[in-house]
Chain A
Amino acid sequence: SQQGEEDPQALSIQEGENATMNCSYKTSINNLQWYRQNSGRGLVHLILIRSNEREKHSGRLRVTLDTSKKSSSLLITASRAADTASYFCATVSNSGNTPLVFGKGTRLSVIA
């Protein structure tokens, strides 16, 4: 079963706009990761945010984590056509050494 659920399922924006995707999860976590998947390719790791961090930046990416609400958001600023992809959050369902569990993803389309 999915630990994380992304919202919205699909998002379409104009180039230059900001894109925000949300992830809600069910149980307490240590860290949360975000991945990107371009069409026909495997997933690529974007960023990891630790449970004691509220916000983290990497280039045009901004990730927030609210452990009280069990949610995270991924913001892509000044989006480009090349940002068109699916985005997934991933975490583990407990504090142990278990594999990552992925959400169903958000499909982002950036229109030039």
Chain B
Amino acid sequence: DAGITQSPRHKVTETGTPVTLRCHQTENHRYMYWYRQDPGHGLRLIHYSYGVKDTDKGEVSDGYSVSRSKTEDFLLTLESATSSQTSVYFCATSRGIGANEKLFFGSGTQLSVL
């Protein structure tokens, strides 16, 4: 998966607890993304980053925060997990942004909030 590592691969947590998912890339790509994938909804963008400490919201950003302190790492935090955040989370990277740029995806994190 093009040098993109997500951790953990699986996580089970309880409602109300904080959760942090990590994405690490070795591609030196400027842009990094967090998507969530749910049945019937496809992939929806949560947040993305266009550089160190530069981030922006996506379509479904409520309840999520992100941080990027280094080019290679992009963290997704659920401040207080809810059952509606049970999903598969994918990190992706790209050299640039827009319709010309292809995305490279990690293998995903399956998160269950009980």
Residues of B within 8 A of A30 (CB): 98-100
Count contacts on B: residues with CB < 8 A to the other chain: 29
Using known A-B contacts A97-B98, A100-B103, determine if residue A88 contacts B58 with beta carbons closer than 8 Å.
Answer: no
Interchain CB contact under 8 A, B105 and A48: no
A33-68: contact bitstring with B at CB < 8 Å (1 yes, 0 no)? 101000011111100100000000000000000000
Interchain CB contact under 8 A, A99 and B33: yes
Residues of B within 8 A of A97 (CB): 96-98
Count contacts on A: residues with CB < 8 A to the other chain: 29
B74 at the A/B interface (Cβ < 8 Å)? no
Question: Could you tell me which B residues sit within 8 Å of A by CB distance?
Answer: 1, 4, 31, 33, 35, 40-45, 48, 58-59, 90, 92, 96-108
Enumerate 28 A-B pairs (CB-CB under 8 Å) in ascending A order. A29-B99, A30-B99, A31-B99, A31-B100, A33-B102, A35-B103, A40-B107, A40-B108, A41-B1, A41-B108, A42-B1, A42-B92, A42-B105, A43-B90, A43-B92, A45-B102, A45-B104, A48-B102, A88-B42, A98-B97, A98-B98, A99-B31, A99-B45, A100-B99, A102-B35, A102-B43, A104-B40, A104-B41
Question: Could you tell me which A residues sit within 8 Å of B by CB distance?
Answer: 1-2, 29-33, 35, 40-45, 48, 88, 90-92, 96-105
